[in-house]
Amino acid sequence: MAFGSALFLSCKKKAADAPAPVVPVIKVDDASQVRTTTASIMRFNVSLNNTTTVPVLVDYTLADGSAIAPTDYTAASGTITIPANQSQAQLEVQIKADPTDRRQNNLQFTVQLSNPKACTLGVLSAKGTIITEDGSNLSTDNTGYSTPLSYPGYTLAWNDEFNGALLDLNAWNQEIGNGSNGWGNHELEYYTNSTRNNFVSNGNLIIEARKEPISGFNYSSARMTTQNKKTFTFGRIDIRAKLPVDKGIWPALWMLGSNISSVGWPACGEIDMMELIGTYPGRVYGTMHWKSSTGVHASKGSEFNLPAGNFSQQFHVFSIIWSADTIKCLIDDQLYLTVTKTDVGAANYPFNASQFFIFNVAVGGDWPGPPDNGTTFPQRMFVDYVRVFQ
């Protein structure tokens, strides 16, 4: 009897000393899925920090954000089960197709967990991101000024109307990197050849600057040139474009002398058909740059101010009429700058030789300064056409 009592007390003590079962904590992770022209599945990982010997259950619901059911995804609710002795399961959400492959800001919705069984809630919700920012289809309102496909006394020597599906790489180069010290201007962007930053859609070339980490920089963009592919001397040049306008944004449509590799800048000459500093959204600048007779940089330029509105609201046509010893700059056929050989004086006049095109959207730099917290991204320049008449 004494022995049995001792055994009973020993068993009771061991039972009291046994650790309480550990209740696992459940969480759900954020997920993303690229939207395509066919339906797809976004998978959320639901996991436990510890396994347990019984099944774990948790309810879920989906809630709209910028993504709206049923247009962007299929609404659903239900229960997720993680079997005994396992630590994770997946929640699958159907993402709707977009046959047009529209480029727009990414869309989000929320997964919300509730009513846990055999577990406790850790992370209560997760974001589902439908990636739409890389779509190939982007349109913009086409209103604004236009110019003709012919002029008396001129022949159309070359043009790009950007009507195809892809950039014409027989005419255009896509520069990569930040150049030497931001191409001499301390710019903040990294230029890429990705369709994230430059692509052709609905009859426009689009250069898109984004706020994103890339190769040690905080912004990406694109810089296109026709160097060694399309060079021109004299004629009338028309470029129809709609411009990005915001603090720290610096779009430009310009030209450099084809001999830059041998004589350097500014001896090669630079023709800035259009530069816009985002702080002044209704103002653009036209400028010629050259090397003075004393060997330093010299320039002559002027500004053009819209009577109302800004350059992001409609298309405008930026033109030069370029002849021997003279360049005239126009916006919507309004003359606002003339530069002649007399302005260059005793220095070598570089503008009677061939030049190539550069189109780019810079972020930051010595002239515009950096973006601030009010600057929105992405920023886009739309180019409808470039035409060279000679």
In this structure, is the dihedral angle defined by the CA atoms of residues 17, 18, 22 and 23, taken in order, positive or negative?
negative
Paired tokens of 237: 């040049």
CB atoms within 10 A of CB 51: 15
Bridge-based pairing of strands 120-121 and 25-28 is: parallel
* Choice among 133, 187, 189, 270 that is catalytic: 270
Can 133 be counted among the known catalytic residues? no
Return the DSSP state at 37.
S
Are 322 and 389 in contact, with CB atoms under 8 Å apart?
A: no
What is the C-alpha separation between 58 and 44, in angstroms, rounded?
Answer: 14
Q: Is residue 331 classed as helix, strand or coil in its secondary structure?
A: strand
Residue 275 catalytic?
A: yes
How many angstroms separate the CA atoms of 92 and 196, rounded?
28
- Characterize the bridge pairing of strands 189-191 and 217-221: parallel
Q: Using omega within 30 degrees of 0 as the cis cutoff, is the peptide bond preceding 378 cis?
A: yes
Phi, psi angle pair for 12, to nearest 5°: -65, -40
Ramachandran quadrant class, 203 (left: phi over 0; alpha: psi -120 to 50; beta: rest): left
H/E element holding 324?
none
Catalytic residue among 133, 187, 189, 275: 275
Three-state secondary structure string covering 148-207:
CCCCCCCCEEEEECCCCCCCCCCCCEECCECCCCHHHHHECEEECCCCCCEEEECCEEEE
Active site residues: 270, 275
